Amino acid sequence: MNPVDAVAGDGAAEEVGATAAADAVVLRGVSKHFNTGRKGTVHALDDVDLTIRRGEFVSLIGPSGCGKSTLLRLIANLIEPTAGEVVVNGKPARQARRDQDYGMAFQQAGLFDWRTVARNVELPLEMKGWDKARRRERSAEMLRMVKLDDFGRHMPWQLSGGMQQRVAIARALASHPPLLLMDEPFGALDEMTREHMQAELLSICASQGTTVVFVTHSIPEAVYLSDRVVVMSARPGRITEIVPIGLGAGRDDATRDRPEFFAGVTAVREALRGVEGMAAMGGVDDR
């Protein structure tokens, strides 16, 4: 897929510079089957290859059951692949998880009700063993970044849904991980808040140089945010097409009116149409 498929050795890589730097995420021949060996084996993912470059914003989109969330969880090492290899930040996924090389945000903000907003943001830092002063400083910085400076001492339930999701993003990025994994993070938000959050997410990730893997089922969202949109099919979960989006940096509200945006939406929609036809056939053919 990607010609620069270099998962470089560590030593010399730094001198050579950007080209040799390890890719953010590399998946090689990854399969995930549930209920293996039993009658109802589910091929959630079958033989998936995908390489995500550093600083890239990649969306995963597809019909439900196409394994996009499974793929995200494999990258996060929340589940182990049945076959294949997952490399994150140049290391095995398990090591990357141990090193907190990624932050994660879900559809539900999932803030802890019993912690203040600031202490929710500090959770990953506690795991890293940071002392209190350093945690305070970082959480204040993160809350400034998501424009919630004055809410550190509030409790999560005192915040609106959009604000809670911003806290969740601040928490995911608190330890400045190079990779952000998001599973439909804006799915529960209203359309206005959602578009606002998308713009904010882009500017935050651009400022930190964060790589993002973003699961969504909204075509405009995927197109607006991504450098590449990965279109997946169900049963078995596979990547059917990767649609490059050429919207460039500095996207804003006007971007949604540009012809390139509509072209992207059309391209992804067509790729998905093909998928649905295939999925239907696959369903008949299978069992």
Chain residues in the site for another protein (CB under 8 A)? 73, 76, 78, 97-98, 100, 102-104, 106-108, 110, 112-114, 116, 123-124, 126-127, 155, 157, 181
Minimal distance, residue 70 CB to another protein, in Å: 13
User: Which of 212/267 has CB closer to another protein?
Assistant: 212
* Structural element, H or E, at residue 158: none
| Beta carbons within 10 angstroms of residue 57's beta carbon | 22
Closest to another protein by CB, 4 or 78: 78
- Pairing mode of beta strands 91-92, 238-244: unpaired
Residue 55: name the closest of 185, 249, 186, 256 by CA.
249
Least Å distance, CB 229 to another protein, is 24
String of DSSP letters for 58-90: EEEE-STTSSHHHHHHHHTTSS--SEEEEEETT
Query: Which one, 176 or 269, has the nearer CB to another protein?
Result: 176
CB 223 within 8 A of CB 265: yes
Q: Which helix (H) or strand (E) element contains residue 106? A: none
Output the smallest distance, CB 151 to another protein, in A. Answer: 14
Instruction: Please report how close the Cβ of residue 124 comes to another protein at its closest, in angstroms.
Output: 5
Q: Return the number of the residue (98 or 134) whose C-beta is nearest another protein.
A: 98
